[in-house]
Amino acid sequence: MKVAALIPAAGSGTRLGLGPKAFVEVVGVSLLARSVAALAPHVDEVVVALPEGWTLPADVPARAIVGGQTRQDSVRLLLEATHAEVVLVHDAARPFLPAEVVRAVRAAAQAVGAATAALPVADTLVRASGEPPETGQTWGELTPREGLWAVQTPQGFRRGVLREAHARARADAHAATDDAGLVARLGGPVALVPGDARLFKVTTPGDLALATALAAVWDA
């Protein structure tokens, strides 16, 4: 069975402020190159969605397409660019991807149809309320964290399952921040596979500092 890794990497990286985020380097290696290197040994092909006008460095073993306006558009275009029966969708912005997680997501996707890496929430969760001018937001309603998981990538799917979910989302003009949510929205089962704290998404300058520290151990 052919398996493809699909990497949406076409974001502009506005919150980080260093240009397209996938090309930002952590200890000399870009987020994109790190993500591709983590997935390539486990799949038959890697397809990457890049911002218009950007090209893949020669040493990154993948095929590139131009991404879309949103992450959801980029993933839909990636799906159209492969014939693999199983796809693993992974954010370029999550560069530290352990092999065990890739294997577990792939196996669960093949068995269930859809699967995502995710971690049980460890922090207390509260909805912020109001915006007092001097102190900022205040403590509103507490949300019990029991049974709550924070969703990561990779997310694995039988390709037909994800294509259907994207087609329906597009027809309904429904926007989502991930792909497993589109499948769940149609009532399809999505397996939750234990992810990894190191799979955090590099979004802010603070995340980049964390990534730099982690790379010293990861690359050793």
Residues that bind ligand C5P (CB under 6 A): 8-11, 21-22, 49, 67-71, 74, 91-93, 201, 203
Residue (92 or 102) nearer to ligand C5P, CB: 92
Least distance between ligand C5P and beta carbon 211 (Å): 13
Q: How far is CA 201 from the centre of its chain?
A: 8
Residues 6 or more apart in contact with residue 4 via CB below 8 angstroms: 43, 44, 45, 46, 47, 82, 84, 86, 87, 88
CB of 129 to ligand C5P, least distance (A): 25
Least distance to ligand C5P, CB of residue 21, Å: 6
Tell me how far, at minimum, the Cβ of 171 lies from ligand C5P, in Å.
20
Distance between CA atoms of 41 and 57, rounded to whole angstroms? 18
Burial status of residue 197 (CB atoms within 10 A of its CB: 0-12, 13-18, 19 or more): exposed
Decide whether 71 or 158 has the Cβ nearer to ligand C5P: 71
Residue 93 vs 108, nearer CB to ligand C5P: 93
Structure tokens at 177: 């921040």
Closer of 92 and 115 to ligand C5P (Cβ) = 92
Output the smallest distance, CB 68 to ligand C5P, in A: 6
Question: Quick one: 29 or 112, whose CB is closer to ligand C5P?
Answer: 29
The residue with tokens 């999550």 is: 94
Task: Quote the radius of gyration of the chain (alpha carbons, Å).
Answer: 18
